[in-house]
Copies of this chain bind each other. A is one copy, B any other.
Amino acid sequence: MRLSTRGRYGLKAMYQLAIHYGEGPIPLKNIADKQNLSENYLEQLVSVLRKEGLLNSVRGAQGGYMLSKAPMDITVGDILRILEGDMAPADCVTDGDFECENEENCVTKTVWIKIRDSIDEVIDSITLQDMLDKRQENDENTPVD
């Protein structure tokens, strides 16, 4: 039950933008280079994050992307849900209108609900600011990238 690269790269990119929050627009190329990702592919992910309101962009030379809100106001859950969809282990426990037959007597469904809820609790409780704080804990010599 892995995340796809969408969620993983997306979080990396948002983290990288959080590091430079308040510095004006950061070009995608910088982010892709730092995190060692394909710029063209990352573009697709970032485009979705912008449309969903997590990022602002500035076009043209010296342009780039920046967080639309402070790092403490963006959670990992915000990012992952946009790029990966509901963090649900089965379709029957998504927000959507999917339904399986015999819903009431389905005991496995109760298991999927517990898994989903525990994931939600984790990802909704971690903000980009938390990640920035963690970064400084990690190593006094953490390079400012």
Contacts and interface: CB of A to CB of B under 8 A. Distances in A.
Contact of A111 (B84, B105, B107, B131): B131
A69 interface: no
> Which of A1, A8, A122 gathers the greatest number of chain B CB atoms within 10 Å?
A1
B134 A123 contact: no
A84 B1 contact: yes
Contacts of A91: 2
A6 to B, nearest CB: 11
Nearest to A132: B107
Given A1-B2, A76-B111, 20 more contacts: A1-B88, A2-B88, A3-B112, A7-B89, A8-B108, A12-B108, A15-B107, A104-B138, A105-B138, A107-B134, A108-B131, A111-B126, A111-B131, A114-B122, A114-B126, A115-B123, A118-B119, A118-B121, A118-B122, A119-B119
